[in-house]
Amino acid sequence: MKIYFLNQLFLIKQVFLFCIVFFVSNINAQISYDAVSNKNISIGTYGRVGVDWSFDDDRSIGRRLNLNNMGSIGGRLEEQDYLEIAPSFHFTPKEGDETVIHAQVRMSFYSNSLTTFANSSTSSTGGLAMSLPEMFVQARNIGGKDLNIWVGARLYRGTDLHIADHFYFNDHSGQGFGIEYKKTRFSSLFIASTDTTSTVPPYFYLNIKSGTPSAALRQRNVINIEQDVDLNEENKLTILGEYHRMPNGQSEVEIDSIETIVNFPSDHGFVIGARHHINFKKMKAGSFNDFSIRYGTGIANGGDGGMSRTWLTFGAADTLALNFRGAYSLAIVNHSVLNLSEKHTLNPYLIFTTSKGGADTNGMSETYFGKEVYNKKVDFTVGAREEFYISDFFHLLTEIHYSQRKDGENPFATMLKFSVAPVYVPTGKKDIWARPHIRFVASVARYNDFAMKTLYSPYLQFAGSKRWGSYFGVKAEWWVWN
């Protein structure tokens, strides 16, 4: 009885410690939550939550004004509820060893039906979903040297364009392993899926060598290497290279048309890119500009829907050669944060992407399992956020975004959006990265004829063919990082 009581007391103590750490830990937000507020565990978090409504139909709709297939590119102030919790477990090396060791798990929660969190659950139709985008072990500063290794599933990516929620240039997120030494980073990802709704090259094939058809997985291997070059104290260049290979999916016997859909031959692709980062020494601290350019070929031409991952292959394959030879994607991003004075910060950006698949058409082309996709697209977005620090606790956000997208031979769909958001910042910091935010958001968007008639926006798909779209909401956003 005494042992049982002690065990229960120990369990209560651990739960209490977990809750305390959750609220007091200070950790890194974007790539890894590393800070240690307890020698065994720390927790990071990102989240947004709120309510919204539209005066068009007098109801809560929770739909972006942005153009279709562009995600948050075009502004993210209308995004729905979302939560990440990332506990990191820390290990102590032997005495005298400077290695930093941790295992990290990241849980993300969202609603498939776009309802608010409070009115949804995992048992609801289209209700809450949970994923584990991260579960990895990492050893840093191995033996006191600038050497790191990691293994597992990881959101392995660099800086992002926050107001468009776009991790550009080098989003190598996936499951695999990596080695980092000084200014060189190497990683190898193993991408596999049995999602038959996907339009990327099939990650499985029919194994009929045994005489019994069965689904057998095949993986894409993605090898990435990055090198940082310090040009001087304020300028840094990053060089990127990738190689993608998908193994042969064909069997040794004749196959019918259904099996041909998934029994594609081996295929590959390459990516090259460069990013230039400059810190503006003559401006207030934290001012910078990033310019990146990246070109991918073959099955490595991915990057659509607000994502920049090159293994998300775009378009359709050549229906005769059954490969993506001739496919390509060019992505250009420019992103700045300019702290102009004690009262103003300007955050402008530009994103341009053009992509083509392996088919011989720009329009619709048949892909896998009878689905059709556009084989070419061009999209362009330019936007800016101006943050005016009215006082320590009250800021005013104003944003303007212009987006245009062309699918295949269609005309361009365009959207021009203006947003204003008075913000209460409880931490009292005059900083564009200060969180949490409690905001009132008002956005209005104007669509061109093609976007309006084709309902080329999540908002228009709900509200119908309209020249103007509107959004009003009360929102909160937070993160905990160093």
Residue 28 pLDDT exceeds 50 = no
Residue 169: what residue type?
A: F
Lowest pLDDT segment from 52-66, 364-378, 433-447: 52-66
Residue 11 pLDDT exceeds 80 = no
Give the mean pLDDT of 188-211.
79
Residue 263 pLDDT exceeds 80 = no
Say how many domains are in the chain: 1
Residue 85 pLDDT exceeds 90 = yes
Give the mean pLDDT of 274-280.
98
Helices (H), 256-405: 257-260
Q: Which two tokens stand for residue 205?
A: 């094939």
At 171 the pLDDT is 97
Give the mean pLDDT of 395-416.
98
Give the mean pLDDT of 60-72.
89
For the chain, what percent of residues have pLDDT higher than 90?
Answer: 71
Give the three-class secondary structure for 307: coil
Residue 101 pLDDT exceeds 90 = yes
Residues 6+ apart with CB under 8 A from 66: 72, 73, 74, 75, 78, 401, 403, 415, 417, 457, 458
Q: What is the CATH number of the domain that holds 96?
A: 2.40.170.10
Residue 257 pLDDT exceeds 60 = no
What is the distance between the alpha carbons of residues 411 and 277, in angstroms, rounded to a whole number? Answer: 35
Which residue range is the domain that position 437 belongs to? Answer: 2-479
**Beta carbons of 217 and 247 less than 8 angstroms apart:** no
Greater model confidence, 183 or 253: 183
Q: Look at the alpha carbons of 436, 437, 438, 444 in this order and tell me if their dihedral is positive or negative.
A: negative
pTM recorded for the entire structure = 0.89
Q: Which two tokens stand for residue 151?
A: 């293994």
- Tell me the CA distances in angstroms from 180 to 139, 150, 229, 265, one per residue in order: 10, 9, 14, 33
Q: What is the mean pLDDT of the chain?
A: 88
Q: Which two tokens stand for residue 438?
A: 């409690």
Residue-wise pLDDT tens digits, 107-157 = 999 988 777 888 888 888 878 999 999 999 999 999 999 999 999 999 999
Burial tier of 222 (Cβ tally within 10 Å: 0-12, 13-18, 19+): buried
Lowest pLDDT segment from 197-206, 242-251, 273-282, 426-435: 197-206
Greater model confidence, 258 or 10: 258
For the chain, what percent of residues have pLDDT higher than 70?
Answer: 87
At 251 the pLDDT is 58
